[in-house]
A and B are shown apart, each in its own frame.
Chain A
Amino acid sequence: MNIRVEPQGFDVGAEYNLLRERSENSGAIVLFTGLVRDFNADGAIDGIILEHYPAMTQKTLQTIVQRALSKWQLDAVTIIHRVGKLLNHDQIVLVGVSARHREAAFDGASFIMDFLKTEAPFWKKEVTPQGDAQWVDAKVSDQRARERW
């Protein structure tokens, strides 16, 4: 598995090619990317700031991938999560999964994202157009999405 937490942006095409090189026997690759929205429930936002707990983040992401590997036969996994200041429409996260068959690749990627969103110690702060910043509250819908597994 390739797990990276870093401030800089990533190139989806390059990451796809790297994942494909690690997936010689695969029949499917699923790539998910999460983006910064330019609005929230209260109106426009002007980017986000992402904080994390470095020592725990890496451990948690590894554990999530291990759990996915025990449920599906996955060939290779890439997780990239950015931290720091991000602008509207920036890429935040990439999850890439390869497997022999597409169902495992779809389910594995979905499972990893659902657990990342509810267990990995990242916190988002939204910046308003006035320059204030407010912590984002966790969503009940994310918790429910995880419970289906």
Chain B
Amino acid sequence: MIKVLFFARVRDQVGCAELDIELPAGVSDVAGFTATVKAMGAAFEQALSEPNVLIAVNQEMANSQMTVEDGDEIAYFPPVTGG
């Protein structure tokens, strides 16, 4: 199972903060997993297709080639604006 988190504008767009998603057979990287989440509906497709969406795997910034394993926590969020 993958714990998926959405923050800020991305959370508003998809309409939920957290989901548990089964890692599909054959999916082993961030790009593949993101395609799985996008396939869950139009809101997910739209929110995660924005060019500036950032992805973290286990609380570290990730790129699309990074490996995803069962038990990981994957977060999607917009560019940060603290400080």
A121 and B79 contacting across the interface, CB-CB below 8 Å = no
Question: In the complex where A59-B59, A123-B8 touch, is A53 in contact with B83 (Cβ < 8 A)?
Answer: no
Question: In the complex where A53-B5, A53-B77, A138-B78 touch, is A121 in contact with B56 (Cβ < 8 A)?
Answer: yes
Inter-chain CA distance A76–B56, complex, in Å, is: 29
- Taking a contact as CB atoms closer than 8 A, the residue among B9, B12, B52, B56 that contacts A53 in the complex is B56
Inter-chain CA distance A34–B82, complex, in Å, is: 10
B79 and A135 contacting across the interface, CB-CB below 8 Å = no
Query: Which residues of B sit under 8 angstroms from A138, Cβ to Cβ?
Result: 52, 78-81
A17-30 CB contact bits vs B (8 Å, 1 = yes)? 00000000000000
Give the secondary structure class of A's interface.
mixed
Question: In the complex where A59-B59, A59-B60 touch, is A53 in contact with B82 (Cβ < 8 A)?
Answer: no
A56 touches B (CB below 8 Å)? yes
A53 and B60 contacting across the interface, CB-CB below 8 Å = no
Inter-chain CA distance A123–B75, complex, in Å, is: 14
Interface hits, B38-73 → A, CB 8 Å: 52, 56, 59-61, 73
Inter-chain CA distance A93–B34, complex, in Å, is: 33
B78 and A123 contacting across the interface, CB-CB below 8 Å = yes
A53 and B7 contacting across the interface, CB-CB below 8 Å = yes
B residues bordering A, Cβ < 8 Å? 5, 7-9, 12, 52, 56, 59-61, 73, 75, 77-83
25 contacts between A and B (CB under 8 A): A34-B83, A53-B5, A53-B56, A53-B75, A53-B77, A56-B56, A59-B59, A60-B59, A116-B82, A117-B81, A117-B83, A118-B79, A118-B80, A120-B83, A121-B7, A123-B8, A123-B80, A123-B81, A124-B81, A124-B82, A135-B8, A135-B78, A137-B79, A138-B79, A138-B81
